[in-house]
Amino acid sequence: MAKYELPINSRMLKSDFVFGVATSSYQIEGGAEEGGRTPSIWDTFCAVPGKVDNGDNGAVACDHYHLWKQDVAMIAELGVDAYRLSIAWSRIVPRDGEVNPEGLKFYENIIDECHALGMKVYVTLYHWDLPQYLEEKGGWLNRETAYKFAQYADIVSQHFGDKIDVYSTLNEPAVSAFLGYRFGIHAPGIKGNKEGFLASHHTMLAHGLAMPILRKNAPNSMHGLVVNAWPAYAESEKDQFAVELSEAESYHWFVDPVLKGEYPAIVKERYPYDMPMILEGDMAIISAPIDYLGVNYYSRNVVRLNEHNVVEKVVLEDVEKTHIGWEVYPQGLTDLLVAMKQRYDNLPPIYITENGAAGDDSVTDGEVNDTQRVNYFQTHLKATHDAIEAGVQIDGYFAWSLMDNFEWAFGYEQRFGIVHVDYTTQTRTLKQSAKAYQAMLVERAAGNK
């Protein structure tokens, strides 16, 4: 095994710090018409010309539906402590009021195999693949969908209970609500500020409604929420308001209601005519206590107010970027985590639930030399360590992603995996980043003995 010089020795982190890898159902599973699964909004969205690069879809993806056992073995060989995956809602509840035992069995097999190989399982209940039959009733614009989610959470947690070590209600509600219902970039492709904010409130309500159900059915598991955050930086001193508004819209809007019981005032003042109807008791439901907060970090935004008093992102030149065009900025992760601790007196333990880089990766002589990704992980683990040193409680780190997969509107052009996937043959090839991660974990295991 090659020796990788790491700027941070993993043993500097506490011995029970969790290292893992992450995936999501629609991005890897395939088997779209197998096992009793019915369509999700992403099946429908992918069929609309021009919505996804190259007309790609997740019908086959990484064929994890059939190759799950070899994939779980591959994860275990990396030496990680945990595997973070999501459950496809429409595999479990293929039609309203109907439970699919075959879908439950599929995930049970994966969970049991992970446990047999010594790994914990972190399950996300909703990673953007809303059943299409619910979208036809309004999707997240329909308040009833929040209650349907609570029923789905009840079905899953009644079946698995504490067998799932850690439950996440939602992954990145900012993306599913705003990219899906405000900006139209993701499924179901709806555009409108009013629609986006309404969808966001209903997703947060869904989270809150599910929390007491999960606690009742899985009292020994941990329960929480995963948000994505892009910290904002001002282009110049006069752009501080742009920073405050950018962060308030992109992630305070989703964390404040949980940890402070309110939506940020700056957003309500900015969009007074687009605010959702909030019923009495909603905020109390949403602010149910959580055991942890998952934070997904990839990069930062540099922002300014333009001549129309609108926040716009500044495209930086002469900075390192990944293949997807995002700046490599590890300091942003430290800044973000420290700022969150300062903002929230009741900040629970944090897990970095996604962190990774897209590359233009290919296999040459059986190797994938993704040097940039190796460096990306090294510097971001150092940034995580710096935040811990600054007093933030961080209990784990998950690399995104286990393997190349369907990257939503980008299709298969963007490769985030530490494992390369040949989509024609479904051959998996560990990239140098996977080997570096593995080497770090082997070193850590040896040091902990």
Q: Alpha-carbon torsion 282, 183, 86, 295, what sign?
A: negative
Chain center to CA of 186: 15
Neighbouring residues of 390: CB distance < 8 A, sequence distance ≥ 6: 334, 337, 338, 341
Chain center to CA of 247: 18
Residues marked active site are found at 354
| Exposed e or buried b per residue across 57-95, where buried means at least 16 C-beta atoms within 10 angstroms of its C-beta | bbebbbbbbebbeebbebbbebbbbbbbbbbbbbbbbbe
Neighbouring residues of 92: CB distance < 8 A, sequence distance ≥ 6: 99, 100, 103, 104, 152, 155, 156
Q: Rounded distance, CA 299 to CA 230, Å? A: 6
Q: Rounded distance, CA 193 to CA 267, Å? A: 12
Residue 381's CB: how many other CB atoms inside 10 A?
A: 25
Backbone dihedral angles phi then psi of residue 397, each to the nearest 5 degrees: -145, 125
Both structure tokens of 332: 């942003």
Residue 241's CB: how many other CB atoms inside 10 A?
A: 16
